[in-house]
Amino acid sequence: MTICRRNALIFLFMAIAVLTASAQNTDKDDAELRSLVKRMTEAQINFKPNVLDDIFTPDYIEISPIGEFDERTKVLGFYKPEQKPGPAGPSTTVEADEFSIRKYGTFAIVITRMNFVITVDGKPVPPRSIRTMLVCRKLGGQWKIASVQYTGIRTPAPSKT
């Protein structure tokens, strides 16, 4: 085998190894970002500001579902345990789907649809969905949420049949 051919094979194996490692990191980051979204929604539904405090960056901001600009302190205050509706209040579950994840080194944009199922007095309310865009940043080796914007998704009009 000639030196040139051997060097080409070595380069090919190195390129494959780098691409494989890069793909594994992408899969790992995607899984971590999806998990981060799940942790956030669970903390919101269960009114756990300590969890949100852990996963938000120090300069976190959001555009709320009603279009308000909310800084970190206001958001954490909204989720204080004493703000949680009592047992007679509404019960909510949420599921995120339709993920679009784009990464730019230590930053990522995550867009997802959040589907809410709400029950009031034991009766289900028509399901609702919102589109959520999260700006995430890797700090100290962990993904954190720097910003979120919530946009309502119009409920389809009932068919006229």
Instruction: Locate the DSSP E strands across 2-141.
Output: 56-63, 69-71, 91-104, 107-120, 123-124, 128-139
Give Cβ neighbours of residue 73 (< 8 Å, ≥ 6 apart).
none
pLDDT at 15: 43
Tens of each residue's pLDDT in the chain, 161 residues: 566 555 544 544 444 443 344 444 568 999 999 999 999 999 999 999 999 999 999 999 999 989 999 999 999 999 998 888 777 677 888 899 999 999 999 999 999 999 988 888 888 888 889 999 999 999 999 999 999 999 988 877 777 76
What per-residue confidence (pLDDT) applies to 86? Answer: 75
- What are the E-state strand segments in 38-90? 56-63, 69-71
59 and 146 Cβ atoms separated by less than 8 Å: yes
Tell me what pLDDT residue 21 has: 43
pLDDT attached to residue 13: 46
